[in-house]
């Protein structure tokens, strides 16, 4: 192998977040402020209900930000206290987790990622931002870009899955949609990229457990989506809860200073995750709250998010003792004030009822986008005998069975606060609206789902479902569902996980369908009717049995408020599924972690890599998804056979719709570097494009491969390298694409 050429340090050229005018105004303000007023800006508190304690803190300038106040009237009341009651009239920054919609609920992030549609993701992020801003919220704690390679981890639902490139693309789209072309764009929000960094690699998929990642894994896999968000101009970064290589992320100077600010040139501020500064003591890292405050501050946490008491109240004593200097405090406060100025909060601190009415009037258009987003997120996993789309002339008696059939809350997924349940279209309602009198629709839940241990968020997300059925009712409902199924031309099984079975503090040790759903499915299939499995979930579930016994499987994720309308369109062919898996779907939980971007072994046949009782291959590969049409991807061309390190080459393919209906395909490009200073993954995604094609229509799709795609962080040189080597290129419709070419880099 030839010597590796050191690539220039990876400077993402983070754009300047603040205008010169903003910075001048910030410094003028900072010069006037007392130390205590400056320190106040570093505190953020949870607030669900009105409290006199909070009012006093706001008036005294002891808070810079509040999160979770949802009522626009209360937001304005507090803002009046801040602006009119405090000495310099510094507005509060109201934050909330606007994760996949505010009033209008879109598919959960893992579903949006499955659309592989940057433009759509940018649009829905912009809609969510406009609705939240109209309510007085100026800051969202999204996007989450944590790479998730262990689906036991509940928060897999909040990100874009296992892949660095897809996560980076989604992060860019979400930041652009949320913030607009620059921070301070009207009707948009300040975005937060979280949780910096490595949270998705927590051991055993247990939430908040330690993550141990090599420098190469960090630089090549876990950090790139954050870097992409910084490059897209994200205005805030949230530090993670867990230990990263024995140093909690919230006290991790290497992450927060050396990488984020030093290597990437990030100029915005860092907020801790909730109570993460206080928790430096529980981690066994800081000796007490004061030590925790000083170490988080020194590590680079500007603002502390806390539920009850901020550890940062100890910073005053630390300054008095000389442990922290006033210029250090100024440096921490500056980007927070600059953000408030740049967001326009000093000029327009209050939410405007006229603006709120204007945004509310767009609700029908937003719901339409939500339906389109749900359709574009859906992934068709199996379709034996082209059972889907259903045929109205044959499928006249339909049984919709399963706990997700009527789900009004669970169809939305986690992180939903401001939505009106009346706006939700359930699957049963969507089908009824589509079919009218043309078909008989019978609906039964069959089984009930319930978490064994209650969710710690039960009170926040206000679980509204019916009480647990007793044994007699459960048996009756089960038999009733089977009777309905037995009387139908086709059975649609709506199964999955309740929204509190996924998300934060919702890890699972199994991927089995929860509750009695597997038994229900097996009994329904035994009736011998055509069965469609409609899934609502946020992690891969154990479909090994379903994949051999159920002819059609359609993954909807948690599709959001228009999920029922989208499901009906997809089931009856008014929309064709075109989504693709954002993660590798394992055969069973014992294969975890299973991801396509693993390194090769010494054995090219992969014989050694398999389990003796199970292949090492997935049930469905990353990037996989079927369509109601068929496609051919041909004619892979590279613009040159050889290039010099630092140059770029172009790759192109022709994709053709060879089927009978207009449909979408996601063309994906993967590479492999054959040799180098370090082993490289078997395949890595380095480009994709979703295209819509009419029958017989062809399109040329082009990709560029240059230093950004071809360089990597080498464990041998401890640096970013762009090496002389042979590269394989594959282009196709999932991570097992066969159409290939090679080129040399010199």
- Give the interface with ligand BGC as residue ranges (CB under 6 A): 97, 141, 194, 273-274, 504
Rounded-to-integer distance, Cα 253 and Cα 266, Å = 14
Least separation in angstroms between CB 273 and ligand BGC? 5
Rounded-to-integer distance, Cα 8 and Cα 711, Å = 10
Which residue number, 504 or 542, has a Cβ lying nearer to ligand BGC?
Answer: 504
Which residue number, 194 or 334, has a Cβ lying nearer to ligand BGC?
Answer: 194
- Rg of the chain on CA atoms, in Å: 26
CA atoms within 13 A on the CB side of 400: 26
C-alpha 456: how far from chain center: 21
C-alpha 54: how far from chain center: 32
C-alpha 479: how far from chain center: 38
Least separation in angstroms between CB 238 and ligand BGC? 6
Secondary structure (3-state) at 741: strand
The 3-state secondary structure of 328-375, one letter per residue:
HHHHHHHHHHHHHHHCCCCCCCCCCHHHHHHHHCCHHHHHHHHHHHHH
User: Which residue, among 143, 109, 135, 345, has the nearest Cα to 228 in the 3D structure?
Assistant: 143
H/E stretch holding 398: strand 397-401
Q: Which of 117, 146, 273, 410 is catalytic?
A: 273
Least separation in angstroms between CB 226 and ligand BGC? 14
Least separation in angstroms between CB 135 and ligand BGC? 16
Least separation in angstroms between CB 544 and ligand BGC? 32
Taking a C-beta distance cutoff of 8 angstroms, is the pair 467, 502 a contact?
no
Least separation in angstroms between CB 275 and ligand BGC? 8
Which residue number, 153 or 713, has a Cβ lying nearer to ligand BGC?
Answer: 153
71 is catalytic: no
Which residue number, 504 or 709, has a Cβ lying nearer to ligand BGC?
Answer: 504
Rounded-to-integer distance, Cα 198 and Cα 217, Å = 10
Which residue number, 43 or 714, has a Cβ lying nearer to ligand BGC?
Answer: 43
Burial pattern 106-143, b for ≥16 Cβ within 10 A else e, equals: bbbbbbbbbbbbbebbbbbbbbbbbbbbbbbbbbbbbb
Least separation in angstroms between CB 274 and ligand BGC? 4
C-alpha 734: how far from chain center: 20
Q: Would you list the DSSP string of 77-129?
A: HHHHHHHHHSTT-PPPEEEE--SSBSSSB---HHHHHHTT-HHHHHHHHHHHH
Rounded-to-integer distance, Cα 483 and Cα 305, Å = 53
Rounded-to-integer distance, Cα 322 and Cα 171, Å = 40
Least separation in angstroms between CB 33 and ligand BGC? 27
The total of other beta-carbon atoms located within 10 Å of residue 190's CB is 28
Taking a C-beta distance cutoff of 8 angstroms, is the pair 480, 523 a contact?
no
Least separation in angstroms between CB 98 and ligand BGC? 10
Q: What is the DSSP letter of 151?
A: T
List C-alpha distances in Å: 74 to 81, 136, 350: 11, 10, 11
Rounded-to-integer distance, Cα 220 and Cα 226, Å = 11
Residues with a known catalytic role: 273
């Amino acid at each position: 192998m030839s010597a590796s050429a050191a690539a220039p340090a990876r400077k993402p050229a983070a754009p300047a977040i603040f205008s010169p005018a903003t910075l001048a105004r910030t410094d003028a303000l900072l010069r006037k402020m007392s130390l205590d007023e400056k320190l106040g800006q570093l505190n953020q508190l949870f607030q669900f209900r009105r409290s006199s304690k909070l009012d006093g803190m706001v008036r005294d300038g002891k808070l810079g930000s509040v999160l979770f106040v949802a009522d626009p009237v209360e937001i304005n009341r507090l803002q009046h206290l801040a602006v009119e009651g405090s000495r310099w009239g510094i507005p509060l920054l109201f934050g909330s987790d606007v994760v996949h919609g505010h009033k209008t609920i879109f598919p959960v992030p893992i579903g949006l990622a499955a659309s592989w549609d940057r433009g759509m993701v940018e649009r829905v992020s912009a809609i969510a931002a406009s609705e939240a801003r109209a309510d007085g919220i100026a800051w969202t704690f999204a996007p989450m870009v944590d790479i998730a390679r262990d689906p036991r981890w509940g928060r897999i639902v909040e990100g874009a899955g296992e892949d660095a490139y897809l996560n980076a693309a989604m992060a860019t789209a979400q930041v652009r949609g949320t913030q607009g072309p620059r921070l301070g764009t009207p009707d948009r929000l300040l975005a937060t990229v979280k949780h910096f960094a490595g949270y998705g690699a927590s051991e055993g998929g247990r939430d908040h457990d330690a993550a141990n990642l090599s420098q190469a894994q960090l630089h090549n896999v876990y950090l790139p989506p954050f870097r992409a968000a910084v490059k897209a101009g994200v205005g805030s970064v949230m530090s993670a809860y867990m230990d990263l290589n024995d140093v909690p992320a919230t006290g991790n100077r290497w992450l927060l200073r050396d990488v984020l600010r030093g290597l990437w040139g990030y100029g915005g501020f860092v907020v801790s995750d909730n109570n993460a500064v206080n928790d430096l003591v529980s981690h066994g890292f800081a000796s007490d709250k004061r030590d925790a405050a000083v170490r988080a501050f020194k590590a680079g946490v500007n603002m502390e998010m806390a539920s009850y008491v901020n550890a940062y109240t100890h910073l005053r004593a630390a300054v008095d003792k000389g442990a922290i200097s006033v210029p250090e405090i100024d440096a921490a406060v500056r980007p927070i004030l600059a953000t408030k100025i740049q967001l326009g909060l000093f000029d327009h601190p209050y939410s405007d009822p006229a603006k709120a009415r204007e945004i509310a009037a767009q609700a029908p258009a937003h719901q339409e986008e939500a339906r389109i987003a749900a359709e574009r997120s859906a992934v068709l996993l199996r379709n034996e005998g082209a059972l889907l789309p259903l045929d109205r002339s044959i499928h006249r008696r339909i049984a919709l069975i399963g706990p997700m059939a009527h789900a009004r809350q669970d169809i939305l997924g986690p992180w939903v606060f401001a939505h009106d349940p009346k706006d939700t279209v359930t699957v049963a309602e969507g089908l009824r609206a589509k079919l009218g009198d043309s078909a008989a629709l019978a609906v039964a839940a069959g089984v009930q789902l319930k978490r064994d241990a209650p969710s710690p968020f039960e009170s926040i997300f206000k679980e509204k479902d019916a009480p647990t059925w007793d044994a007699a009712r459960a048996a009756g409902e089960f038999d009733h569902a089977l009777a309905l199924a037995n009387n139908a031309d086709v059975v649609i099984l709506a199964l999955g996980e309740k929204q509190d079975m996924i998300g934060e503090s919702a890890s699972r040790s199994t991927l089995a369908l929860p509750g009695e759903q597997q038994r229900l499915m097996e009994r329904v299939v035994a009736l011998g009717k055509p069965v469609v499995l409609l899934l609502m979930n946020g992690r891969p579930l154990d479909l090994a049995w379903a994949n051999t016994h159920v002819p059609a499987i359609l993954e909807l994720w948690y599709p959001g408020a228009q999920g029922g309308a989208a499901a009906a369109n997809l089931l009856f062919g008014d929309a064709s599924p075109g989504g693709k898996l954002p993660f590798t779907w394992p055969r069973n939980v014992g294969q975890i972690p299973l991801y396509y971007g693993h390194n090769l072994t010494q054995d090219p046949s992969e014989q050694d890599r398999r389990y003796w009782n199970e292949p090492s291959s997935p049930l469905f590969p990353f990037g996989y998804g079927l369509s109601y049409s068929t496609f051919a991807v041909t004619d892979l061309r590279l613009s040159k056979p050889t290039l010099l390190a630092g140059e770029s080459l172009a790759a192109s393919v022709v994709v053709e719709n060879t089927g009978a209906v207009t449909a979408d395909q996601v063309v994906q490009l993967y590479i492999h570097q054959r040799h180098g200073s370090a082993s490289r993954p078997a395949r890595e995604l380095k480009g994709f494009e979703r295209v819509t094609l009419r029958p017989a229509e062809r399109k040329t799709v082009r990709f560029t491969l240059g230093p950004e795609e071809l360089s990597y962080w080498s464990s041998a040189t401890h640096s970013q390298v762009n090496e002389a080597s042979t590269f394989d290129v594959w282009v196709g419709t999932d991570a097992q694409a066969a159409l290939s070419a090679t080129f040399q880099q010199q």
